[in-house]
Structure 1
Amino acid sequence: MAHSTISIFFFFSLCFFSFYLNAQTTPSKQLQAFIFPIKKDGKTNQYYTNIQFGSNSTKLNVVIDLGGNFLWFNSVDYFNAASSYRPILCGSRKCQIADTDGCILCISDLPVPGCTNNTCSDFALNPFTGTLGFSGLGEDALHVRSARGAHVQYTVDDFPFQYSDPVLRTGLVGLAAGAVGIGRTGISLQAQLASAFKIREKFALCVPPAGGDGNLIVGETAYSIPFEEISKSSLFTTPLVKNPVSISGNEVIGNLTHEYFINVKSIKVGSKTVLSLNKTLLSINKKDGSGGTSIRTVRPYTTLHKSIYKALIKAFVRAAASKNIKRVKSVAPLGACFVLKTVTSSKTGPQVPTIDLVMNKKKGVFWRFYGSNSMVRVSKDVTCLAFVEGGINVSGPTTSIEVGGYQMENHLLEFDVASSKLGFSSSLLLHNTTCSKFGSS
């Protein structure tokens, strides 16, 4: 009897241990989302997260590129321990999914990251400097944390990436080894997690101001209070538009088909529509891909086509003057600056005329920027409008409006890639919260 009892105990212990191991390495049916922390570097205005990559879980800081193709980085720590690295071969299914620009031949004594023969290859783009690097794609283990419960870690064994030339790191925040793309591609972060764990291709983004915390959540999740209520009842929704023109390899621009566009139809300052806009610039030119409105985490401030920028500045200065806000000399690259002491404070930052990007006037769909997202303090006595003229020193077609990171701060953005819809909140300051409190239940 004693022998039988010990056997039964051993059997159930073995079953429990096997279940525990499987729970750490395979996706649960209830697992629906993964979480990545976001920080902002105050000097470069870049937003970055950290990941664990490879068999030894090398920790890497990578800039978040909302329109980026894939994960790319250069790290000696990873290189020296890349025992589980595997090249993605030309003609393979993963290469077809990547939709790359060709193959590369690189013969060495031993295949190493960045130099393998018959390897599927593509261009990596530094979105800040416009530097391009052509190199082979590989795959290795990406370790991710569940956005639910105790943040259990899971592993994607064959996550695609590019080990890039170190020159691509020039211009990145000093902590960053590369960039992670969450654009419209088959090998972007959210696309690969959706494929690996059979979840919806969707992600929520909440970027913080410098000194704060934010999160990127990939997949479906139940948010913590009050974000659950904001998501359910307080989001504006608008279609995500796909630019039909690929500008692959064009410096700084990148591939327009991979970026997220929205249909902005007009702009308001205060309660008045800016009438002097060239409306044709607000639509995407189907021949060359120029025009339209995209959303870019790699732009520190919203950039505007020259004529749109001039019209906005003129309307804003006029509306500010009506509030007795005194204008002073501009501080490049910002074109409209004001005496700080003539601007009062409010719950949503400096009390200045609001700026609305209007998507659907009849349904009341507009993205409103209050002072916390429209004004930036440049000195002890001066504050400036945080919008800049775009398209300067850039070759090729340019997007008319690129909504930058500063305007996204403390807004909840839900990118439902599967259904091509964007959900966005009003300023979280109106809801008595910030991105630093954004997470999951």
Structure 2
Amino acid sequence: MLKLLVIILAFISHEHEAIAQYGPPYSSVVIPVTKHTDVAKPVYSVEIMTSFVNMQFKTENFLIDIDAPFIWHDCIVYWDMYPGKCPDDKFCHYPISCEDQTCTWVRTDYSYRNPLCSPETNRSNLPGYGVDCTCPLNVVNPVTGTCGGPALLSENIFNVHKSNGRNVFNWTYISYPIGACAPSSSYASFPANVTGVMAFSTSLYALPEHFYQPLKKSLSLCLPSTSSSRGVMFFGTGPYYLLPHSNVDLMSYLSYTPLLKQPDSFGYFIHVKSIVIKTRYIKIPSNTITKLSTIDSYTTLRTDIYNGVVQRFSKVTRRFKPAEPVAPFGYCFSTSNNNDRRHVGFKVPDIDFVLIGRKKWTVSTSNSIKQVTKDVACLAFVDGGETSEPAIVIGTFMFEDNFVVFDIENSTFGFSSSLLHKHTSCSNFNFTLTHLP
């Protein structure tokens, strides 16, 4: 019996080694990220392959929204999509009927509704094959907060490149999420060449829900600080590498804090216990919730928290001459006589966001100071008002050149603080295509 047990254990061990040896050579998918500054406020997009035409992929740029309930973009719906039916300059998708259970599910499940939106009604404009009505949905423009549409629920096909965290492979991973085709008026305020919203929230109709094994449900984001170079987004497991440190896994830089759920929201939330500036704690009520946003440009604080931060920050930067505030900021200073520049912004104290478990998200000067003119810089926090909820919203300026991970499976949020102090940046991923081993 002992010999038999040894043989069985050896066989199992051999099988595990074989699976590991012949497992997929990719651990994630990778998507390039672009910063756009040609609109009222900076926003970020991902470039995703949406159709295969004339032996090559057509791509579309989508705004990154980690709060959106579903995907919507510039496309049209056709039931009889035989070759040549779809115009060359359009993306075409099969519609989902109002009689389909999916239509009911999406309408029921997506939670935030703009009071300016009209009630959704079915339209009978796609007869044939049992489809006698479309499934209209209201969409909310994340840039303006206004109601758009109606958009028509449809089937989608998206392609993204596979990766091992270091290389981008020439093979693609295909996902089939439900989305909606929206009229051009819905994205009229978007940056040039951005024609849709990609939902990366916890919704059942967001893109992360449509990535399957071997990909882990974990979204990693590295926003670029300039519009001239690309950042990077991963979905899956690490490791992840940025040049020039080709052997340093970005995951080794991370600290973690729990992700919190909030009713009627598909977004991501954390708990900030206090804000510390040069050993002084700014008091934050214990029930304060912090939202993470890829749409808000700057970190917004409720007035009581904002006043505490500004009061403390102004004391530790008294050597700077105050300047007239530049909207949307409330505290600015002159830099015309400042000789105190460093490789990573001005020499001002770091701002620590203290999280659960005494973990600290350190906000260095590159993420806390915004140079608004040649001679004026501002503290990159915004007064949200006395009754703003959530009380803290962390915006994209604080994310730039930080590596962050939304681990959906384990409900944790990982953060690196500024990569500039590690002598790299979010623009240093190698997007050169290589062959899949």
TM-score over 0.5 for the pair? yes
| CA RMSD in angstroms, aligned pairs only | 2.9
- The answer (yes or no) to whether the contact 1:104–1:136 under 8 Å persists in 2 is no
2:363 paired residue among 369, 374, 382 = 369
Cα distance change of structure 1 residues 366 and 119 upon mapping to structure 2, 3 Å threshold: farther
Deviates more, 1:266-275 or 1:293-302: 266-275
1:264 positional shift: 0.4
- The answer (yes or no) to whether the contact 2:96–2:103 under 8 Å persists in 1 is no
Q: In structure 2, what is the equivalent of residue 288 of structure 1?
A: none
Q: In structure 1, what is the equivalent of residue 74 of structure 2?
A: 74
Q: In structure 2, what is the equivalent of residue 319 of structure 1?
A: 316
C-alpha distance in structure 2 between counterparts of 1:268 and 1:296, whole Å = 22
Percent identical: 26
SS of structure 1 residue aligned to 2:176: strand
C-alpha distance in structure 2 between counterparts of 1:406 and 1:263, whole Å = 19
Higher share in helix: 1
Q: In structure 1, what is the equivalent of residue 182 of structure 2?
A: 164
2:147 paired residue among 132, 137, 144 = 132
Counterpart residue identity of residue 238, structure 1 = T
Cα distance change of structure 1 residues 88 and 49 upon mapping to structure 2, 3 Å threshold: farther
1:439 positional shift: 5.6
After superposition, the C-alpha distances for 1:294-327 in whole angstroms (9 at most, x for unaligned) are 1101011111112211221111111111xx1221
Counterpart residue identity of residue 143, structure 1 = N
- The answer (yes or no) to whether the contact 1:100–1:121 under 8 Å persists in 2 is no
1:263 positional shift: 0.7
Deviates more, 1:57-66 or 1:367-376: 57-66
C-alpha distance in structure 2 between counterparts of 1:227 and 1:355, whole Å = 30
Cα distance change of structure 1 residues 84 and 232 upon mapping to structure 2, 3 Å threshold: closer
1:42 positional shift: 2.5
1:329 paired residue among 324, 344, 348 = 324
1:183 positional shift: 0.7
- The answer (yes or no) to whether the contact 2:241–2:250 under 8 Å persists in 1 is no
Cα distance change of structure 1 residues 223 and 155 upon mapping to structure 2, 3 Å threshold: closer
State the TM-score, normalized to the length of structure 1.
0.78
C-alpha distance in structure 2 between counterparts of 1:377 and 1:164, whole Å = 37
State the TM-score, normalized to the length of structure 2.
0.78
Q: In structure 2, what is the equivalent of residue 92 of structure 1?
A: 101
Q: In structure 2, what is the equivalent of residue 7 of structure 1?
A: none
Q: In structure 1, what is the equivalent of residue 171 of structure 2?
A: 153
Structure 2 matches for 1:137-286, cutoff 5 A? 137-148=153-164, 149-154=167-172, 156=174, 158-194=176-212, 197-210=213-226, 211-224=228-241, 226=245, 229-243=248-262, 245-246=263-264, 257-275=265-283, 277=284, 279-280=285-286, 282-283=287-288
- The answer (yes or no) to whether the contact 1:74–1:163 under 8 Å persists in 2 is yes
Cα distance change of structure 1 residues 420 and 118 upon mapping to structure 2, 3 Å threshold: farther
Cα distance change of structure 1 residues 365 and 272 upon mapping to structure 2, 3 Å threshold: same
C-alpha distance in structure 1 between counterparts of 2:380 and 2:194, whole Å = 25
1:212 positional shift: 2.8
C-alpha distance in structure 2 between counterparts of 1:58 and 1:89, whole Å = 29
After superposition, the C-alpha distances for 1:260-298 in whole angstroms (9 at most, x for unaligned) are 0001011112221114x4x15x52xxxxxxxx1011010
Cα distance change of structure 1 residues 55 and 221 upon mapping to structure 2, 3 Å threshold: same
After superposition, the C-alpha distances for 1:115-153 in whole angstroms (9 at most, x for unaligned) are x75445543221121122343311122121112345233
Cα distance change of structure 1 residues 228 and 162 upon mapping to structure 2, 3 Å threshold: farther
Cα distance change of structure 1 residues 439 and 124 upon mapping to structure 2, 3 Å threshold: farther
Does 2:403 correspond to 1:412? yes
C-alpha distance in structure 2 between counterparts of 1:79 and 1:306, whole Å = 51
Return 5+ residue gaps in structure 1 as ranges. Answer: 1-27, 247-256, 284-291
What is the aligned length? 379
1:41 positional shift: 1.4
Q: In structure 2, what is the equivalent of residue 123 of structure 1?
A: 138
Counterpart residue identity of residue 155, structure 2 = E
Counterpart residue identity of residue 172, structure 1 = F
Q: In structure 2, what is the equivalent of residue 349 of structure 1?
A: 345
Counterpart residue identity of residue 414, structure 2 = G
C-alpha distance in structure 1 between counterparts of 2:27 and 2:321, whole Å = 51
Cα distance change of structure 1 residues 220 and 313 upon mapping to structure 2, 3 Å threshold: same
1:78 positional shift: 7.1
Q: In structure 1, what is the equivalent of residue 38 of structure 2?
A: 43
- The answer (yes or no) to whether the contact 1:38–1:213 under 8 Å persists in 2 is yes
